[in-house]
Amino acid sequence: MEHQERLDSLLLEFDELSRHSVGYPANLDFDYTALLPFMRHMVNNVGDPFHDSNYRSNTHEIEREVIGLFADLMHLPRDLAWGYVTSGGTEGNMYGLYLGRELYPDGVVYFSQDTHYSVVKIMSVLKMRNIMIRSQDNGEIDYDDLRETLRINRDAPAVVMANIGTTMKGAVDDVNRIRGILDDLAVTRSYLHADAALSGMILPFVDDPQPYGFDAGFDSVAVSGHKMIGSPLPCGVALTRRAYVSRIARAIEYVGVLDTTLTGSRNALTPLILWYAFQQKGLDGFRHMVGGCLETAEYAVTRFDDAGVAAWRNRNSVTVVFPRPPAEVVRKWQLAPQGDIAHLVAMPHVTRGTIDAVVDDCVRAAATPQDAAGAAA
């Protein structure tokens, strides 16, 4: 039973790692064991979830409900909405920008320095002209740089990728302001894709959200499923207006198929997982969960401050930014470092006790000279 031992030890390793996981925005607090019987079936959501499929062991109906739930959250009437459950945030972003390109083949893509690293790859796959815009210190796009750059390129349609929660600092770009700039410059051919990987599941549940949603000017949005909601399998949602997709679908129907998703065979379990999370928690459950995370994040800022460590966070963000601690602290807590900063993300499984332990480790390590030297190396 050597292979069983390997599985057992792998499981133990994951148990141990999840106890010290505070650096990445994945909710580890979930239980989908009720869905285990589905592991006995070959299910496949190949194709457009809003169209019939010849492969009938699918969860398209559940997937459409998931898209409906996200349409509600993103202020898009369900009958105008189209989308599908993706493999994660990256695929959702690629989908949004792909739509932008199909609508505006000569469009220029604008995104800030703090945009998720996958945008570079997406741009090279889609072969779109693109311009990186400066970020402000808090991670939000620099609106003056955006205005100036758009002004110079006014002759080209603008495909703006806005961050609704940046990866490193949890910053939210002001989409009202971005729309305002486009209007001022009379750039009428424009498309706004929102990368809402993490905060797409935060802003709908707070009292004073920054502007977000299709009523605020989104043309498409990508939200991750394994981040705030939590899932054992990476997943996400791509959501847009049905009218945009029918323009693509028509083009492809011409060559004989209706193939509106980026991938062919698609995971049929992840729509089930997302749907189940909404049934289990309900909107009130998510509101409660998100409220708890924001409190934990604020607690972390206070604890760091009390310990003399300059920590901060953006409004409505569960991401707490602080000076990069020595390497062994980064490793122990799986903190995500970038240059001279690091962050922790107050996801639902992160308790105040965890925060206390992280802060103590940071303070203790900073007080040990050889560790500080190790961090600088």
Ligand X SMILES: *Cc1c(COP(=O)(O)O)cnc(C)c1O
> Shortest approach of ligand X to residue 97 CB, angstroms?
12
For residue 202, count CB atoms less than 10 angstroms from its CB and return exposed for 0-12, middle for 13-18, buried for 19 or more. Answer: buried
List active site positions.
317
Find tokens 């609106």 and name the residue: 143
Nearer to ligand X, 165 or 271 (CB): 165
In order of 146, 210, 212, 263, 314, the CA distances from 97 in angstroms are 18, 23, 18, 15, 26
Q: Enter the tokens of residue 235.
A: 């997943």
Distance, in Å, from the CA atom of 140 to the CA atom of 133, rounded to the nearest integer, reads 10
Nearer to ligand X, 89 or 213 (CB): 89
Residue 89 interacts with ligand X (CB under 6 A): yes or no:
yes
Residue 114 interacts with ligand X (CB under 6 A): yes or no:
no
The phi, psi pair for 360, rounded to 5°, reads -60, -45
Nearer to ligand X, 159 or 249 (CB): 159
Nearer to ligand X, 260 or 319 (CB): 319
Sign of the alpha-carbon torsion through 348, 353, 354, 359: positive
Residue 343 interacts with ligand X (CB under 6 A): yes or no:
no
197 touches 224 (CB < 8 A):
yes
For residue 91, the tally of other CB atoms under 10 A from its CB is 24
Which of 83, 217, 234, 326 forms a contact with ligand X (CB under 6 A)?
A: 234
**Cross-strand partners of 221:** 194, 239
Residue 326 interacts with ligand X (CB under 6 A): yes or no:
no
Residue 236 interacts with ligand X (CB under 6 A): yes or no:
yes
Q: Which stretch binds ligand X (CB under 6 A): 55-63, 98-106, 159-167, 352-360?
A: 159-167
Q: Which stretch binds ligand X (CB under 6 A): 192-200, 272-280, 308-316, 342-350?
A: 192-200
> Shortest approach of ligand X to residue 339 CB, angstroms?
17
Residue 170 interacts with ligand X (CB under 6 A): yes or no:
no
Residue 167 interacts with ligand X (CB under 6 A): yes or no:
yes
Helix (H, G, I), strand (E, B) or coil at 4: helix
Q: Enter the tokens of residue 360.
A: 């103590």
Find tokens 């600092």 and name the residue: 169
Which of 88, 96, 204, 348 forms a contact with ligand X (CB under 6 A)?
A: 88
Which residue has the CB atom at the shortest distance from ligand X? 89
Distance, in Å, from the CA atom of 243 to the CA atom of 79, rounded to the nearest integer, reads 10
| Footprint (CB under 6 A) of ligand X, residues 247-286 | none
Residues in the chain, total: 377
Nearer to ligand X, 21 or 166 (CB): 166
Residue 197 interacts with ligand X (CB under 6 A): yes or no:
yes
| Enclosing H/E stretch for 90 | helix 89-103
Residue 116 interacts with ligand X (CB under 6 A): yes or no:
yes
User: Beta strands of the chain (E only): which ranges?
Assistant: 81-86, 108-112, 129-133, 158-163, 190-195, 220-224, 236-241, 319-323, 336-338, 341-345
Which of 195, 239, 297, 333 forms a contact with ligand X (CB under 6 A)?
A: 195
**x-or-dash pattern for ligand X, window 213-232, by CB under 6 A?**
-----------x--------
Nearer to ligand X, 336 or 375 (CB): 336
Q: Which residues bind ligand X (CB under 6 A)?
A: 88-90, 116, 118, 165-167, 195, 197-198, 224, 234, 236
